[in-house]
Amino acid sequence: MKHTIIFSAPYMMASTERFRKLLEGYYGIEMIVPNIKQKLLEDEIIAYAGQFDGTICGDDEYSARVIEACVPRLKVISKWGTGIDAIDKETATRLGVFVGNTLNAFTIPVSETAMGYILSFARKLPFMDDDMHAGIWNKPPITTLSECTLGIIGVGNIGQAMVRRARAFGCRILVNDIAPIKPDFLIENRIESVPLKDLLEQSDFVTCHTDLNPSSRHLINRETLSYMKPTAVLINTSRGPVIDEKALVEALQSGKIAGAALDVFEKEPLPMDSPLLSMKNVMIAPHNSNYSPMACERVHWNTIRNLLIPLGYDVSNFEEIKKKY
């Protein structure tokens, strides 16, 4: 049987023809390549219902409504990356649709991005650069990380990588996670596990590294923001809805916190009327903290592999085949 897939993962679409040669040329899989900017919405996917057996996707909205409309033909949703919060996995499992992703995909680039934001605010590098280019000779008060407390929310792979990196700068480190943290990890790294309120009250920098689930959605909200120091900076390279964006804007405008660095947002792309775009105490990026050539290449091929297996293709020689492409 010849299969057809929707190919809509943005990071892979820059090399569409490379992957078309593999999927169509070697495996005989036909590709539907929609014109997208960020992701496919529910109705955009449903327009293809009954026409495709699988998908290689980014943050496309595979809700229960979409999956129900696309079965029984739909057999596999292969997500580029780690987070599958845009996919209703419970519905997919119930209807026999395999959901694949790549665990521990971007630990190094995301943790380095978060550390870059922390250093930028501690040493005020981009802000002094802006002043200098504007002809302003200004020497603002700056600090070192060895004088600061860093709070890390979420101690999975990326959170642990943050601990290792932050230790090198000599800062005090507080961590919080809804899952138990191994005592040996705390002892070996000389860090403290504390309740979220304590972490927010004591930290000069707070960085979020939790996945998106019902317990983490709007984890940072009007109440939790009120616990933070007025000199503190909030960093989010995890998922946009972990932070209540409206509450964050209010906290920044009122001076309840000093600044924020955001790679992710509740709505992406970030709307052009967002107040965040005009705030000088906010650093923003287009959901790109995960990028590195090595990490992306690994995820590209694992995503393809996750597509092929549920569709019944033999991948025993996959490592040799991919070398040709």
Q: What's the whole-number average pLDDT of the chain? A: 97
Predicted confidence (pLDDT) per residue in 217-249, tens digit: 999 999 999 999 999 999 999 999 999 999 999
Looking at the predicted structure, is the pLDDT value of residue 1 above 90? no
pLDDT higher for 167 or 38? 167
Same domain, 252 and 304: no
Predicted confidence (pLDDT) per residue in 282-310, tens digit: 999 999 999 999 999 999 999 999 999 99
The two tokens of residue 195 are: 């309740």
Region of residue 312 (left: phi > 0; alpha: psi -120 to 50; beta: else): left
Same domain, 101 and 133: no
Same domain, 131 and 222: yes
Contact 77, 96 (CB under 8 A): no
Same domain, 56 and 85: yes
In three-state secondary structure terms, 128 is helix
Look up the domain containing 240 and give its range. Answer: 107-284
pLDDT at 37: 83
Same domain, 206 and 173: yes
Same domain, 296 and 248: no
Same domain, 271 and 309: no
Same domain, 174 and 238: yes
Same domain, 311 and 179: no
CATH number at residue 113: 3.40.50.720
- Which is nearest to 298 in space by CA: 35, 107, 158? 107
What residues are annotated to the active site?
239, 268, 287
Same domain, 85 and 161: no
The letter for the amino acid at 76 is V
Q: If pLDDT is split at 50, 70 and 90, which confidence band does 26 have?
A: very high
